[in-house]
Amino acid sequence: MAMAWMKDALISVRLFTIVLTDGADA
């Protein structure tokens, strides 16, 4: 369960990157 926060962090970073790129690399 100690890795749960790491998973959330990775997901947050991905979403943040998608928002920044505005789906440019899609």
Q: Which two tokens stand for residue 13?
A: 């970073």
pLDDT at 1: 61
The pLDDT of residue 3: 85
Kindly report, residue by residue over 1-26, the tens digit of the pLDDT: 678 889 999 999 999 998 888 866 65
Q: State the pLDDT at residue 21.
A: 87
The Cα–Cα gap between 3 and 21 comes to 27
Closest C-alpha among 13, 21, 25 to residue 5? 13
Grouping H, G, I as helix, E, B as strand and the rest as coil, residue 4 is helix
